[in-house]
Amino acid sequence: MRSCLFAILASLTALARGADAAALTALLSRPILEPGTPLAEVQAFTEQRVPAMPAITSLAEWQRFAERTRREVLEKIVFRGDLARQWRDAPARVEWLDTLPGGPGYSIRKLRYEALPGLWIPALLYLPDRVSGKIPVHLAVNGHDKDGKAAPYKQLRCINLAKRGVASLNVEWFAQGQLRTEGFVHYRMNQLDLCGVSGLAPFYLAMSRGLDALLSLPYADPARVAVSGLSGGGWQTIIISALDPRVTLSNPVAGYSSYRTRARFLSDLGDSEQTPNDLATIADYTHLTALLAGRTALLTYNAKDNCCFASPHALQPLLDAAEPAFRLHGQPQRLRSHVNFDPGTHNFEVDNRQALYRIVGDTFFPGDAAFDAQEIPSQPEVKTAAQLEVPLPPGNLDFTQLALAAAQNLPRKGTAATREHLAAVVKFAPLSATATRTGTETREGVQATFWKLRLGESWTVPVTELTRSGPTAPSGTTLLVADAGRKSLAARSTELLNAGQRVLAVDPFYFGESKISQRDFLFALLVAAVGDRALGLQSSQLAAAARWAVTEFHSGSVALESTGPRLGLAALVATALEPRAIATLRQTDALPSLHEILRQNWTVDKYPELFCFGLLESFDVPQLRALAGARAR
């Protein structure tokens, strides 16, 4: 009889707990923000931080601006970090290999070159049979195409230029073709960023070392140097052309748009290499386009692009930005554009290639009546990937291997692991907080109050306040955050409520109800490009929420609890940087070390806030816990 009573009581208790959990889940899941708020706020936040083109009225003033911009982008963005500068200054090696018969009028020479010590790039030189004196040269870069340098449209471009007397270097790109490996996935370049080494540096060096190889040829004409590419190759084209004055003709194809454009046209939001940390604190892609002034540029876009950078929205802002600089040089005709309508989708097919041949003829062979821009049919000469394979040395380094090597002795000994330095690294900001109560609801003896916290001038964060109904006031206040969002916190909320606590369940930037509805991690990258950090936003918001809670509920401090590795790091940073309002930190499933990010080979598309530039260079979890002191458990 007694065992039956115990069973009944246990069953009733379980039912009560189930009902309580269901009620709390419903309260924690109730929307607080207007639909679309996180997307609208991150769009406005990033857009307004993109620098505008300066109003410059003289050529001398423009040239000073251009030189300063080029120098600052290279020094502060591309070659940021001691290791990146060592790569830049290392001697470059080129190894020429066997020669393939090409087709009528040209041959193909295989080669490999080091982008940086231990990282080799396979390449193919399409060389005209008849070389007399100095001839034009061309660097052919490719985008996100699994066929890489063997892509037929890329081969045909190189073949046609070789048949016109232009030596064309067809280089492989990371994660494509022969370099299509997990270690070269572009979202792993941010592993280097975490270590305080520019993940953009290998990309740039792969291009600049290719130019080095081209211009080392005895017949290369340094006054006639072209670069062209589609999509990611278009991005490579504008980067190397804008920052390396050796390029005299640039033809990016459907490769980029202004950061302002990207904030509104989400198809244009670029991957890690397109959106490097802090680039937009110095230059937008409008600036980079204008840096082509004094040389020749053909901006090619597609009218119905089914990928990105469609001409109706992407092209005109770039032309508007660049035209004044070309006019100051007295060369407005050197800035051209081409819009492809057939097929009009994402392509570098015959119409776009012929636009390239025309500008090559006008620029490199002026007055040559024999030059014909019509494509020379060469489809039977296209070779297989196996035929074009270039042997690479064993153990060719990739992003992951480079990052693991860079992280071996991090954090650096002797680094000032102070609150001030941490705040600078994560871009922490002491945000003000203004609260608006949006409603209340009671379920199963739990009173819920729904708050919108306006933090600073840019962000609105949802907070669900939970208390037990009754005359007894809560004995304390606990802020809860979780990687799975506040709706996942019913069980822990129940425990805290039963212990007499007030619960504030918060969804900071990028999580729960604050998750960006479209292209979420690409906006996290854009936040870093305009000079902030997702980790800094999250920790700043948590600290501001804690300060608001102290004031709103008349308590001396609050407790903070996190579940999950991502917000666990943000909570730890917030605790380290907010010693007054946050009294204790309790964590579940937190990272034991930032080195775990590299050991687990995580990527920025899955864990964007964890790749805060330079964080591991100065801080690991033990250093962060030391700043938090006894408050962190």
> Which tens digit of pLDDT belongs to each residue from 304-334?
999 999 999 999 999 999 999 999 999 999 9
Q: With bands split at pLDDT 50, 70 and 90, how would you rate the model's confidence at 526?
A: very high
Residue 602 has pLDDT above 60, yes or no: yes
Burial call 534-559: b when 16+ CB within 10 Å, e when fewer: bbbbbbbbbbbbbbbbbeebebebbb
Strand order in the sheet with 106-116: 94-103, 106-116, 119-128, 167-171, 135-140, 220-230, 249-253, 296-302, 335-340
Strand residues in 325-371 grouped as ranges (E)? 335-340
Count of Cβ atoms closer than 10 Å to residue 248 Cβ: 21
Is the pTM of the predicted complex or chain greater than 0.75? yes
Instruction: Please give the Cα distance from 83 to 86 (Å, whole number).
Output: 5
pLDDT in tens, 404-435: 999 999 999 877 889 999 999 999 999 999 99
- Helix (H) or strand (E) segment spanning residue 334: none
Q: What is the mean pLDDT of the chain?
A: 95
Q: Which residue has the tokens 């997307």?
A: 39
Q: Using CA atoms, how far apart are residues 216 and 123, in angstroms rounded to an integer?
A: 15
Tens of pLDDT, residues 333-362: 999 999 999 999 999 999 999 999 999 999
125-180 tens-digit pLDDT: 999 999 999 999 999 999 999 999 999 999 999 999 999 999 999 999 999 999 99
Cβ-based neighbour number of residue 59 at 10 Å: 15
Q: Give the separation between CA 497 and CA 465, rounded to whole angstroms.
A: 11
pLDDT at 14 over 50: no
pLDDT of res. 131: 96
Decide if pLDDT at 12 tops 60.
no
State yes or no: pLDDT of 633 exceeds 80: no
Q: State the pLDDT at residue 8.
A: 38
Q: Using the predicted structure, report yes or no on whether residue 10 has a pLDDT greater than 70.
A: no
Contact 120, 112 (CB under 8 A): yes
Q: Compute the average pLDDT of residues 83-88.
A: 98
| Mean local confidence (pLDDT), 286-307 | 98
**Alpha-carbon span 314 to 258, nearest angstrom:** 7
Tell me which amino acid residue 558 is.
Answer: V
The DSSP symbol for 471 reads S
Question: Using CA atoms, how far apart are residues 451 and 331, in angstroms rounded to an integer?
Answer: 58
The Cα–Cα gap between 411 and 417 comes to 9
- Is the backbone peptide bond immediately before 411 cis, with ω within 30 degrees of 0? yes
The yes-or-no verdict on residue 55 having pLDDT over 70 is yes
Whether residue 248 has pLDDT greater than 60: yes
Distance CA 515, CA 538 (A): 12
Instruction: Look at residue 21 in the predicted model and tell me its pLDDT.
Output: 87
Calpha distance 589→566 (Å, rounded): 9
Band of residue 555 on the pLDDT scale cut at 50, 70, 90: confident
Cα–Cα distance, 112 to 121 (Å, whole number): 5
Convert the pLDDT of each residue in 23-52 to its tens digit.
Answer: 999 999 999 999 999 999 999 999 999 999
Confidence of residue 20 (pLDDT cuts 50, 70, 90): confident
Domains, the chain: 20-47+413-631 (3.40.50.1820), 79-390 (3.40.50.1820)
- The single-letter DSSP state of residue 92 is P
pLDDT above 90 covers a percentage of the chain that reads: 94
pLDDT for residue 183 is more than 90: yes
- Dig out the tokens for 187 from the structure: 């979202």
Instruction: Give the E-state strand segments of 444-515 in sequence order.
Output: 446-455, 459-468, 476-482, 501-506
Residues 6+ away with beta carbon under 8 Å from 575? 560, 582, 585, 628, 631, 632
What is the secondary structure of 220-262 as a DSSP string? EEEEEEEEEEETHHHHHHHHHHHH-TT--EEEEES----HHHH
User: Which of 535, 508, 546 is closest to 624 using CA atoms?
Assistant: 535
The neighbour count for residue 469, using CB atoms within 10 Å, is 11
What's the whole-number mean pLDDT along residues 84-101?
A: 97
Structure tokens at 373: 């821009």
Q: What is the SS3 assignment for 509-554?
A: CCCHHHCCCCCHHHHHHHHHHCCCCHHHHHHHHHHHHHHHHHHHCC
With 0-12 CB in 10 A as exposed, 13-18 as middle and 19+ as buried, what is 89? exposed
Under a CB-based contact definition with an 8 Å cutoff, are residues 456 and 48 in contact? no
Residue 3: per-residue pLDDT: 56
User: What is the C-alpha to C-alpha distance for residues 539 and 626, in angstroms, rounded to an integer?
Assistant: 17
Burial class (CB in 10 A: 0-12, 13-18, 19+), 382: middle
Structure tokens belonging to residue 494: 């129940």
